[in-house]
């Protein structure tokens, strides 16, 4: 429930905001700290062709659990779900730190993803409970500042570990942060739960998980572990399609579906979810490949490579925190359209500049992308959250986060397929600067295509005024 406190670290809501920012920081640092160390990890335990699974396993586990966590949050409250998420993230981090092979590391990354699937949507949902529609953009700016700090701290720390210590500390550094976050949530956040009886949609969660896993497996391994026309590919895609069709059928008949089809039938929720999906795809294409692209083609250190992509998270909170001033004047749709147009320009610039690898031009292009995405994601999330009452807010927020995770998971699979195909066709192998440059350029072009398609979703958004949404909260 909202109060009349100002938005900030004071008053009754301030300490809770700090706790939520710290919890978000766990996931934010992990998102920026790993990409810079990929070459070092591959050099230590091998598995270049499998490294996209480091992101896919994490994102897939995160994506498929978001709807379940969101539904449980309306049953037993936001607080216990947040604590479960942080605890799982802690266990996953410890296991990743002791991983002995790429396969083990991928499996343990999935455990981390199970925790992240609770942390991110719960933090945003709790903030949506505490702050009203006009305050949420500023609150989103606070969360954006966490990503901005992580974008600098993560690559720097990750680069230092990769160069002067061991990549394993990338995961061990999460241990004290998780412990502090758990303590703060327990002590500071006291929710007012509106208890309701619910039935968990186990069948929906299972069919969704199996379907997405099969499709992503087919995308990542097709053309590498087996031919695209082989029985393995046909089985993976066929089984995935059957499971996803079954998922839709289950959701239409479930008493309380894990991903309510009825919610997606609302034009505002559908279009904002599609935008979130496109943002996830474009974003993962850059954060996963820019550091390796620069490290291999220009010879810069992991620190510099990480800082170049970190400019995304610098532009993001700047635009996000100021977006309320824009969408209260011109509306949610127009603001999202402008933001996505800027992001589209940034991905196009990155693709063109990749022909002449340079950390500065890459960082500037990423800055434009971050600014555009920050300007687009905040009004779309605020519009979606503010269009529903309390008892649907967790599900709507979870749906928004779910679609972004799905976009990222499928995006990294598609981008990995494109990149690996180009690298395997190169005579220089996976360590060839020319092969990495060509593969990265193709990924950046694919990210541009994702941005273009996302602009189309913004055009389809309904025109909604802030005053209309204020009346519904």
Q: How far is CA 246 from CA 71, 148, 207, 243, 288, in A?
A: 20, 40, 7, 5, 32
In the DSSP assignment, the letter for residue 37 is G
Does residue 464 contact residue 331 with C-beta atoms inside 8 Å? yes
Map residue 222 onto helix, strand or coil: strand
pLDDT computed for residue 323 by the predictor: 81
pLDDT computed for residue 2 by the predictor: 46
Does residue 261 contact residue 248 with C-beta atoms inside 8 Å? yes
Q: What share of the chain is helix, strand, coil (3-state, %, to 5)?
A: 80, 0, 20
pLDDT computed for residue 86 by the predictor: 93
Domain at 14-190+256-470, CATH class: mainly alpha
| H/E run at residue 107 | helix 102-130
Does residue 102 contact residue 10 with C-beta atoms inside 8 Å? no
Tokens in use for 407?
């976009």
Report CA Rg, the chain: 21
Q: What is the rounded end-to-end Cα distance, in angstroms, of the chain?
A: 10
CB proximity list for 447: less than 8 A, separation 6 or greater: 281, 282, 285, 286, 347, 350, 351, 415
Closest Cα to residue 406, out of 278, 286, 271, 239? 278
Closest Cα to residue 86, out of 177, 149, 221? 177
Closest Cα to residue 215, out of 424, 420, 406? 406
pLDDT computed for residue 120 by the predictor: 81
Map residue 463 onto helix, strand or coil: coil
CB burial of residue 253 (10 Å; 0-12, 13-18, 19+): exposed
pLDDT computed for residue 468 by the predictor: 60
Give the chain's count of helices (H) and strands (E).
18, 0
Phi-psi region at 200: left, alpha or beta (left = phi > 0; alpha = psi -120 to 50): beta
In the DSSP assignment, the letter for residue 462 is P
pLDDT computed for residue 469 by the predictor: 61
Distance between CA atoms of 464 and 18, rounded to whole angstroms?
A: 31
Question: Where along the chain do its domains lie?
Answer: 14-190+256-470, 202-255
pLDDT computed for residue 287 by the predictor: 78
- Alpha-carbon dihedral sign for residues 32, 66, 78, 135: positive
**Residue pointed to by tokens 């972004």:** 404
Find the DSSP H helices in 331-432: 332-353, 359-386, 390-425
Distance between CA atoms of 390 and 124, rounded to whole angstroms?
A: 13
Map residue 226 onto helix, strand or coil: strand
Does residue 430 contact residue 423 with C-beta atoms inside 8 Å? yes
CB proximity list for 351: less than 8 A, separation 6 or greater: 441, 444, 445, 447, 448
**Residue pointed to by tokens 């959250």:** 385
**Residue pointed to by tokens 């749709």:** 333
pLDDT computed for residue 48 by the predictor: 65
Map residue 81 onto helix, strand or coil: helix
In the DSSP assignment, the letter for residue 357 is -
Regions in the chain scoring below 70 on pLDDT = 1-11, 31-32, 35, 46-51, 133-134, 136-137, 141, 144, 147-148, 150-152, 155, 193-199, 220, 223-225, 302, 390-391, 427-431, 465-473
- Is this structure's pTM higher than 0.75? no
Reduce the secondary structure of 293-322 to three states and give it as a string: HHHHHHCCCHHHHHHHHHHHHHHHHHHHHH
pLDDT computed for residue 220 by the predictor: 65
Closest Cα to residue 311, out of 359, 356, 379, 357? 359
**Residue pointed to by tokens 């779910």:** 402
Give DSSP secondary structure letters for 366-393: HHHHHHHHHHHHHHHHHHHHHTS-HHHH
């Amino acid at each position: 429930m909202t109060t009349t406190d100002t938005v900030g670290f004071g008053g009754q809501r301030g300490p809770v905001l700090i706790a939520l920012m710290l919890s978000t920081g766990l996931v934010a640092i992990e998102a920026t700290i790993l990409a810079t160390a990929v070459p070092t990890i591959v050099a230590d335990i091998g598995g270049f062709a499998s490294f996209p699974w480091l992101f896919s396993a994490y994102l897939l586990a995160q994506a498929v659990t978001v709807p379940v966590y969101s539904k449980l949050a309306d049953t037993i409250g936001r607080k216990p779900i947040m604590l479960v998420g942080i605890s799982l993230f802690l266990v996953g981090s410890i296991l990743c730190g002791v991983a002995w092979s790429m396969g083990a590391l991928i499996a343990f990354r999935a455990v981390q993803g199970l925790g992240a699937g609770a942390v991110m949507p719960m933090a945003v949902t709790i903030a949506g409970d505490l702050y009203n529609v006009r305050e949420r953009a500023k609150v989103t700016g606070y969360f954006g500042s966490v990503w901005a700090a992580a974008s600098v701290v993560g690559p720097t720390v990750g680069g230092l570990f990769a160069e002067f210590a061991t990549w394993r500390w990338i995961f061990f550094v999460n241990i004290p942060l998780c412990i502090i976050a758990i303590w703060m949530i327990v002590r500071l956040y006291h929710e007012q739960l509106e208890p309701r009886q619910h039935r968990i949609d186990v069948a929906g969660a299972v069919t969704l998980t199996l379907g997405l896993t099969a499709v992503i497996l087919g995308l990542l391994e097709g053309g590498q572990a087996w031919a695209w026309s082989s029985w393995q590919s046909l089985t993976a895609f066929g089984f995935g399609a059957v499971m996803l069709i079954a998922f839709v059928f289950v959701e239409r008949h479930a008493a309380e579906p894990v991903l309510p089809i009825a919610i997606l039938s609302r034009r505002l929720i559908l279009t904002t979810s599609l935008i979130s999906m496109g943002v996830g795809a474009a974003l993962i294409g850059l954060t996963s490949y820019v550091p390796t692209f620069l490290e291999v083609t220009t010879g810069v250190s992991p620190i510099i490579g990480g800082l170049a992509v970190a400019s995304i998270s610098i532009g993001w909170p700047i635009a996000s925190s100021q977006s309320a001033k824009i969408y209260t004047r011109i509306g949610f749709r127009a603001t999202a359209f402008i933001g996505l147009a800027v992001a589209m320009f940034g991905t196009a610039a990155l693709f063109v500049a990749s022909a002449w690898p340079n950390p500065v031009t890459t960082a500037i292009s990423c800055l434009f992308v971050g600014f555009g995405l920050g300007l687009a994601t905040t009004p779309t999330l605020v519009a979606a959250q503010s269009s529903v009452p309390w008892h649907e807010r967790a599900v709507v927020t979870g749906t928004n986060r779910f679609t972004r995770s799905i976009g990222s998971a499928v995006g990294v699979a598609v981008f990995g397929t494109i990149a690996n195909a180009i690298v395997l066709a190169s005579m220089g192998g996976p360590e060839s600067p020319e092969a990495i440059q060509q593969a990265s350029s193709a990924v950046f072009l694919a990210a541009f295509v994702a941005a273009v398609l996302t602009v189309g979703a913004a055009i389809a958004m309904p025109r909604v005024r802030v005053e209309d949404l204020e009346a519904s909260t």
